[in-house]
Structures are given as structure tokens and as C-alpha cells.
Amino acid sequence: MPVVRRRVPSLQEERALRRAGYRLVAGVDEAGRGAWAGPVVAAAVILPCDRRTPARLRGVNDSKQLTAAQRSAMREQIQRVAIAWSVGSASSAEIDALGVVVATRLAMARAIAGLRVVPDALLIDAVNLPELPIVQRAFDHADGISLSVAAASILAKTSRDAMMCALDASVAGYGFASHKGYGTRAHAEALARLGPCWAHRCSFKPVAALCARSRPLTADC
């Protein structure tokens, strides 16, 4: 059988935008959109578009393709290499109030607003941001194609994982540090045993039915 080579993210998309006159290109991605609890977190990253950058960020890829240890190591290198980077989030309450798609856009807009320089263009994984007056390209699997988006996916994932570990330390019994709020069997069993807490997304099934029977108002759950 032929060997299938996994595509390595590159700066091809960024360079195309630079040739069109857009000097600072930010890659944008999110983490936690499908979780049952916790925030949705987004990151924006502007990388130097020179020949050294791909070598300096060798190993950076879609965060789902990396181990936790690899993501942690890559996070530090991304922060050293990047011209600018920022992280933004939207809470579980905002997700319930606005819907997860709108909340994801909000988290992305907050990450972009937090950059120390204003980007001229955006490369985004799958999500359009029509409310932002910035040139943008959104396409599926951008975190496996664009190096800037891949870098953003790592910063978003590692930031959210740290938030969920902190949440686990303050809200006992749910195992947030292990499953990060996603719909695992252990999480479902904890929900059935304890009911939802303030960090759960009551608009998400199967959390919704439990939220209807209890009011998750405090961190004590």
C-alpha cells in the first residue's frame, strides 16, 4: 500500500494574502465548542512570514494531532516566535444565552481585539466573523493547512485545558481536569450523580434535562 503523508501546515495562505497587500495576517481558531461544560476559548496568532518561521515551529500542527506534552512545548515556542498572540473566551452562561456559534464568534473577536497590533487580514478555521471589518478567509480544516491557524489551535486548546484544570480544583467531583468538560462516560456518570453545576452548558443535551430539574447557581454545585 502507498504511504499516505500527513499534510504539514505551512505559510502558503499567509503569503498569498501578503502578496495581495495584507502585511499582518492573524490565524484564528477555537477550542471547546462541543464540550458540555466550561468556556469556548479562541486564540489569534500573527507569525513572521519569513523563511525561518516554519523551521522554528517544526511540529506545530492541528492541536488534535498532538499530545498534551507536545502542545505544551509548542505553546512556549509559538509565544516566542509570534509577532503577536492573544486568547479570548466566552463563558458557559454566554453560550447558553447566545448559542454556541455566536459565543464562538465572540470568543474569536475578543482574541483578535487582544492582539497588540491590528491584523490586516484573518485566516479562520471554519467560522466567519461578519461583524469584523477585516479581510478574512474561513475554511474547513484550516488548522491543518495554515501554520498561523495551527498555532492558534494550540494556544486555544492549552489555554482552555488550563482553565478546566483550575475549574476542577474549585468544583469537586466532575473530573474536569481529565475530560475537560467533554461528553465522556465519566462526565455523564458525574452529571447523573451530582447534577449540573454553574459551569455546565444548560443548552446542551444531555445537560438540558438535568438543568431543568435544578438551578446551577453556585460553584458548590
pLDDT in tens, 83-126: 999 999 999 999 999 999 999 999 999 999 999 999 999 999 99
Nearest CA-CA partner of 63 in 146, 139, 150: 150
What is the reported pLDDT for 210?
Answer: 87
Catalogue all structural domains in the chain, each as residue range(s) with its CATH number: 12-169 (3.30.420.10), 172-213 (no CATH)
What is the reported pLDDT for 124?
Answer: 98
* Residue indicated by cell numbers 498569498: 16
Q: Is 205 helix (H, G, I), strand (E, B) or coil?
A: coil
The alpha-helical segments, DSSP class H, found in the chain are 12-19, 52-56, 68-81, 92-98, 100-113, 147-170, 176-179, 185-194, 207-213
What is the reported pLDDT for 214?
Answer: 64
List phi, psi (to 5°) of 187: -65, -45
Give residue-wise pLDDT tens across range 70-86. Answer: 999 999 999 999 999 99
Positive or negative CA dihedral for 98, 100, 102, 103? positive
Predicted TM-score (pTM) of the model is 0.93
Binding residues for a divalent metal cation are 29-30, 125
Nearest CA-CA partner of 88 in 13, 11, 133, 152: 152
Binding residues are 29-30, 125
> Which positions of the chain have pLDDT values less than 50?
1-5, 216-221
What is the reported pLDDT for 5?
Answer: 46
